[in-house]
Structure 1
Amino acid sequence: MPEDYRAGFACFVGRPNAGKSTLTNALVGAKIAITSGKPQTTRHTVRGIVHRADAQLVLVDTPGLHRPRTLLGERLNEQVRATWAEVDVIGFCIPANQEIGPGDRYIAQQLADVRRTPKVAVVTKTDTMGKQAVGEQLLAVLELGKEVGIDWAEIIPVSAVAGAQVGLLADLLVKQLPPSPPLYPGGELTDEPEQVMVAELIREAALEGVRDELPHSLAVTVEEMIPRTDRPKDKPLLDVHATLYVERSSQKSIVIGTGGVRLRDVGSRARQQIEALLGTAIFLDLHVKVAKDWQRDPKQLQRLGF
């Protein structure tokens, strides 16, 4: 191990759907965080681990900070702020294809209060815009820093989808880490429990192509994951039993679809992702239940893992 080896924690923040999860996956080189076109799809703080010859970069993926309207929203925001206080560097993600708005200013103002932690501004989704527009966004980000009192350690444009400057971003984040031996064993890509990741993959599959009201109202719990006992050793099968919770009966019928078609499609897509994650064949058993107004109920939030 080189003498100047570094290790530490970085987190990406930004308003919902700013590309944080896609960036985490691109840096780690594997699917760790769920991605979706719907805002606020990240619920858990996922740690992705980037192993390099000179460093170990542990990425903490937080939910998007937003003005909360429910108890769940307040808890997600608390989770974000607690993370900021503990990491070595913060990456503030601002999409290239959207003007800086009130949401970005709100986060920047909150970030300005986190004095000691270096902040790297990351202009994401540069593949969606031309060079001139990206350049203008970089200048706008510089101005935003001056406006709220943040002295950016770096400002960098990236495209996680095209892989543009992702390696350079890793270099810039590593530069901010303290000298330290590795924090996790080699080969580990995340410290998330498998059941949490499986639940997130099912939720991602369920969010594909549904109406806007569903993302915030959908929670998934994995009840059990048990190996099928009567299988030969060279053909194992894992039984996965999971429940999807929604807040209203009308949402339940959206998730299930006519004659159960939609739920079967969700199961089929989730199964492929879960088998790739676990490296084994699975039998996926999905049920949909209504937990009325669970986002506003402290007891139900706790039961669903928030």
Structure 2
Amino acid sequence: MTQTCGFVAIVGRPNVGKSTLMNRILGQKISITSRRPQTTRHQVMGIKTEDDVQFIYVDTPGIHILAKDRNKAINRFMNHAAVQALHDVDCVVFLIDRTRWSDEDQVVLQRLEHVDAPVILAVNKVDRLNDKASLLPWLAEVGARREFAAVVPISAKHGSNVPELETEIARHLPEGIHHFPEDQVTDRSQRFLASELVREKVMRQLGDELPYQMAVEIEEFREEPRVTHISALILVERQGQKKILIGENGERIKSIGREARLDMERAFGTKVMLNLWVKVKRGWSDDERALKSLGYDLD
């Protein structure tokens, strides 16, 4: 049987649904999600194997304009990680929102000018359209912005038309042996996933109160036969942010820990003992040395 295997980059501006789309395709949570822009900070690989076809998806941070308030080292890292994912892929899925073309969509389109791989335009969140008749002219308008391999309207959240998108992607994958075992779904470690799940809960619970300059470092990840012991340090930049994160009588940090622990137990298939601490580390988000120590390597 001839095997097919290829890399697929999922790109787009922040908060357009890239991680939701990859999780939907894989049928499980690999990339964390929240309503806050720039939730995804790293390239995250998701692997789906169906019979003789292996899709290797690369979820990416949102490509964004480096405005004055978003030109820190961490912003440069995220843009670099997203653009780097476009190198040597077999197909690109460019995700945009329904009936809205932003300046950051234009920036992503410009980044795709020198990409040789076929680019599929996926128009997300079409389930939210009140006027369905407006969709066809909008698809025609955005489809004319460059020569796309296909234009596919989808709902990543509800799965509408996602199988049709996968069919389009499969058309562009080359013949080749599979790079991963058929039961592997990501190249990321459980330690990485644990840190991301804690960060997701912080962003979901405190997205409006806490700036995104917050990071999570796993200090202990110890597996025993029936339980995994995890200690995580949450870094913020100011004392006031620490106070918000801990909450009155420690209630907020307890809630974050409870939700993260439940997700970890589902993901790892074992009981988890999770301990969380909060530490102020001023200026870490604009300090390349600090970023490297936290796994954000600009190189």
* SS of residue in 2 equivalent to 1:179: coil
The 2-side partners of 1:140 and 1:168 are apart by 21
Question: Deviations for 1:167-222, whole angstroms, at most 9, x for unmatched residues?
Answer: 11111111111101111001111110111111001100111132446352110111
Q: Is the 8 A contact 1:18 1:95 kept in 2?
A: yes
Q: Which residue of 1 aligns with 2:199?
A: 203
Equivalent residues, number: 291
The 2-side partners of 1:169 and 1:60 are apart by 15
**TM-fit CA distance, 1:12:** 0.8
- Unaligned stretches of 5+ residues in structure 2: none
Tell me the percent identity. 35
The 1-side partners of 2:33 and 2:176 are apart by 31
Q: Which residue of 1 aligns with 2:64?
A: 66
Among 186, 204, 227, the alignment partner of 2:223 is 227
The 2-side partners of 1:278 and 1:137 are apart by 43
- Unaligned stretches of 5+ residues in structure 1: none
Among 271, 283, 294, the alignment partner of 1:281 is 271
Among 8, 13, 30, the alignment partner of 2:11 is 13
Q: Which residue of 2 aligns with 1:102?
A: 103
Letter in 2 for 1:108: L
1:111-126 counterparts in 2 under 5 A?
Answer: 111-114=112-115, 116-126=116-126
TM-score, length-normalised on structure 1? Answer: 0.92
* SS of residue in 2 equivalent to 1:93: strand
**TM-fit CA distance, 1:158:** 0.7
The 1-side partners of 2:264 and 2:207 are apart by 24
* SS of residue in 1 equivalent to 2:206: coil
Q: Does 1:172 align with 2:165?
A: no
Q: Is the 8 A contact 1:240 1:284 kept in 2?
A: yes
* SS of residue in 2 equivalent to 1:302: helix
Q: Which residue of 2 aligns with 1:301?
A: 291
Shift in CA distance, 227/101, structure 1 to aligned 2, threshold 3 Å: closer
The 2-side partners of 1:136 and 1:241 are apart by 52
Letter in 2 for 1:300: A
Q: Give the RMSD, CA atoms, in angstroms.
A: 1.3
Letter in 1 for 2:118: P
The 2-side partners of 1:134 and 1:218 are apart by 38
Q: Which residue of 1 aligns with 2:245?
A: 255
* SS of residue in 2 equivalent to 1:266: helix
Q: Which residue of 1 aligns with 2:91?
A: 89
* SS of residue in 1 equivalent to 2:55: strand
**TM-fit CA distance, 1:99:** 1.3
Q: Which residue of 1 aligns with 2:136?
A: 135
Q: Is the 8 A contact 1:40 1:215 kept in 2?
A: no
TM-score, length-normalised on structure 2? Answer: 0.94
